[in-house]
Structure 1
Amino acid sequence: MSTKAAVSYSTEHDSYNAGREMSLKALADARLDKCQFSFAFASSEHDAEKLIKGIKSVLGEETLILGGTSAGIITGDYMGYEGFHAGILVISSDEISIDTHLVEGLKDGEYDTGRKMGEKISRINELENPNLLLFYDSMQYDRSKANPFYQATPILAGIQSVLNDWPPVAGVGIVGGAMGTKRTELWNNDKISKDSILSVLISGSIRMDTTIMHGLKPASDYHTITKATGNILFEFDGRPAMEVASEYLGFIVEPDWKNAMYLITIGVNRGEKYDPFREENYINRLVLGVDETSGALLVMEGDLKVGDNFQFMRRSIETDMVSEMAQKLMESIGTREPLFAFYIACLGRVKKFFGTEKEESEEIQKTIGSKMPLLGIYSGTEIARVRDNVMPLDWTGVLCIFSSK
């Protein structure tokens, strides 16, 4: 039978009917009567229980359904991030295996929950050609916390404390809307959960190749973090962080800090300091807001430390570069057969927020979606390998191509 895959979507408002509609279309496109695996994502407006029932009414009770909430859906012929939308990837294969693990309890600590996940997948590298997709609920429901999002850095550290070596890996912190304004869930078959991590182990006659597309470029010389605690950056170069950031922005009057996430991004170069710019060497940190009393900046993750050098970054999505990098990834698989693609795109990259003339995902649709089944989702945090480390990323697109010999 080898491997067959197809993708479809629905904008139907009734969740049960949406699940049925996209499942029927995907099976028809793949010329299948049934499938073993499926990935499904939908906007927060949908009722997950009804959507999954609709999917199962077509695919059957035996089909594994994985996925969760997404702020938007991307397929080869559709893109949407407002209102009702749902997307599905169906896979039928006698050459690959998919195993899943769900660990709840992020509210009790990201590191410990990550470690529990690490224990569940500790033997992953004993599998044939293992590949790992990680999904976690990025939304905190405790509104007393300064950071409304769970942090990927301690999650990954917890996993890595058990896992000796990472296989090919990509991941996503799911969101339901901008700045965590809508509920989020993860789905592992009939299990619907929040405050959790979902791992998807894909093995057998399959390989996942990835590339990173940041959409940011350095806009300043290097600065040094001189005071920080967790995800709160108090001082740069011995001065209040807000003061240094204001100088970078060049405002004569005080900036509107309520929109800090659209004004400032911090980038750390993991390559050589003054080598030519290579975006794959950078990790970028979204600034969520400020503490005007202390003059501190609040960033998405807590992995930046005193002594780290960074640059302020400017938003710069060059759509032809997105197409070029996607094409290079496609060419890198050589004579292998492409099976399907999964695209993780930061919600901040959409035209509405980023200010580009067109959607950068259109380039992924043209370059990749025209050649293989493509399912993409919009995210809060993206996870990928940066040089030798697996890192959380911001303002980033991570493209994954799955192929067989």
Structure 2
Amino acid sequence: MPRLLIVFCGGKLDGETVLRVLHERLGPVPVVGGAAAGAVSRAAFGYSGLELLVLAFGEDDPLPQIVSAELLPDEVAGGRLLGERVRATAAPDATVLMLFDSVASRSPLRLHPGSLIVEGFGQGLDGHPVRLVGGGTLTDMNLSDGWVFHDGQVHRHLAVALVFPPEVTVETAILHGCRPVSTFMEITRVEGAEVYELDGQPALGVIERMLGLSLGATRGQELSLLATLGQKQGDPFGDYDENDYVNRLILSANPETGSVTLFEPDFRQGALVQIMARDNMLMLDSVRAGMAGLHSALSDPSCFLALYIDCAGRASARSGAPVEEVEMVLRGLPPGVPFAGFYSGVEIAPFEGYSRPLDWTGVMTVLRVGEGRAEDA
């Protein structure tokens, strides 16, 4: 019998029914995971809302400890509490998988910002080093809802952390797919996730001119399919490398105020950003290169799980890519590697020395037992 289940299920399935059936068949085994806009296995993938993905940890698998924290009324405080509980549990440099529900409110739409949760999480760790990866759960690609499994129940507004024992090491590759289409611009007015001005001009108008489109009176959903705002890390004038960018999807636009709202509130006034076009061919090239870079880790007999956390917007139905990028991921897997993946609302991975939320990325995470710690790709 399994000792732990990690379960992801499509938003058309009832989470409580899924839990009840699993417990009827398998007994009172702990279940973590939650909703997913889609799921991926070696045999199949899809985002119809009817997918059910179950990962079972057996007697010989390293078992994580599980801690959680509420995200309301304050995501920073919730992340801080989760970090404190992880610090009390985790060995130095332990691998931690974080899952949380992405949607805080459906009407009006408000997300649980991953950047605020991770900010608080770092405060709670208080310098205790861990290797954090994770994702936000969604019921579908329209951001309709999100929930997580924990402690035998379906929860909203909860972050759950799986803290692996010290013999588990992790290697990650962040797969991108955006290219800059503007010069650097300064954010001259921003409130939280809402960017009002770029270089002193209404942000929406600047983006429209750069992309050569007019949104009219719409609320800007088109922008989420076309572009992001990107902040280059390191030398802003160094050679282009997609791995230097943190990109933020555009959640909505407001023609009345000329502003755009990003998925995360972590771009500050004075930051230099560029408009980034979502490039499907670059996305597929990034998948090929990232999977090739992980081939050695994936082929190692000590690998007990390869987990792919994939932005729902990268699916062909949303991106318009001629090939499903998860097909490229599957082609890059060596034979015999235990593998699973899910479509997420946000992805968390080590970046520039610490973990942070990312948008429109795929994060391939390779978990191994007893190997020396590798660098992130």
TM, length-normalised to structure 1: 0.85
After superposition, give the CA deviation of every residue in 1:163-195 in whole Å (9 maximum; x if it has no partner).
Answer: 0134121111111112312x3221124122101
* Unaligned 5+ runs, structure 1: 1-33
Structure 2: gaps spanning 5 or more residues: 371-377
Verify: 1:307 aligned to 2:274, yes or no.
no
Q: Does 1:195 align with 2:162?
A: no
**How is 1:376-395 mapped onto 2 (pairs within 5 angstroms)?**
376-395=341-360
Contact 1:96/1:204 (8 A) holds in 2: no
Deviation at 1:339, TM superposition (A): 1.1
Question: Residue 140 of structure 1 aligns with which residue?
Answer: 104
Aligned to 2:133: 170
Q: Distance in 1 between matches of 2:174 and 2:325?
A: 13
Instruction: Report how far residue 315 of structure 1 moved.
Output: 1.2
Aligned-CA RMSD value: 2.0
Deviation, structure 1 residue 125 = 4.1
Partner residue, 1:11: none
CA drift of 1:94 comes to: 4.1
The whole-number CA distance in structure 2 between the counterparts of 1:69 and 1:252 is 35
Kept after mapping to 1: 8 A contact 2:9/2:49: no
Q: Distance in 2 between matches of 1:220 and 1:333?
A: 37
- Deviations 1:332-391, CA, capped at 9 Å, x for gaps: 578552211110000000011111111000111121274411110001111111112321
Task: Report the alpha carbon displacement of residue 292 of structure 1 after superposing the two structures with TM.
Answer: 1.5
Aligned to 1:285: 248
Match of 1:47 in 2: 14
Q: How far apart are 1:157 and its partner, in Å?
A: 1.1
Show the 5 A alignment for 1:227-306.
227-251=189-213, 254=216, 256=218, 257-306=220-269
Q: Summarize the Cα distance change of 1:140–1:271 in structure 2 as closer, same or farther, 3 Å threshold.
A: same
SS state of the match for residue 398, structure 1? strand
The residue correspondences of 1:81-160 to structure 2 (distance < 5 A) are 81-94=47-60, 96-104=62-70, 106-126=71-91, 130-141=94-105, 143-144=107-108, 148-160=110-122
Return closer, same or farther for 1:107/1:369 CA change in 2, 3 Å cut-off: farther
Return the letter of the residue paired with 2:26.
L
Residue type matched to 1:148 in 2?
R
Contact 2:291 2:332 in 1 (8 A): yes
Q: 1:90–1:212: structure 2 CA closer, same or farther, 3 Å change rule?
A: same
* 1:337–1:180 distance in 2 versus 1, CA, 3 Å: same
CA distance in 2, matches of 1:260, 1:294: 16
Contact residue 348 and residue 395 of structure 1 kept, 8 A: yes
Determine if the alignment matches structure 1 residue 352 to structure 2 residue 317.
Answer: yes
Q: 1:160 to 1:253 in 2, by over 3 A?
A: closer
Whichever residue aligns with residue 46 of structure 1, its letter is: L
Is the contact made by 1:346 and 1:395 (CA closer than 8 Å) also made in structure 2? Answer: yes
Work out the number of aligned pairs and report it.
366
1:399 aligns with 2:361: no
SS of equivalent residue, structure 1 residue 395: coil
Deviations 1:44-71 (A, max 9, x none): 211222212222233332x322110001
Tell me which amino acid in the other structure corresponds to 2:273.
Answer: F
TM-score by length of structure 2 reads 0.91
CA distance in 1, matches of 2:33, 2:177: 26
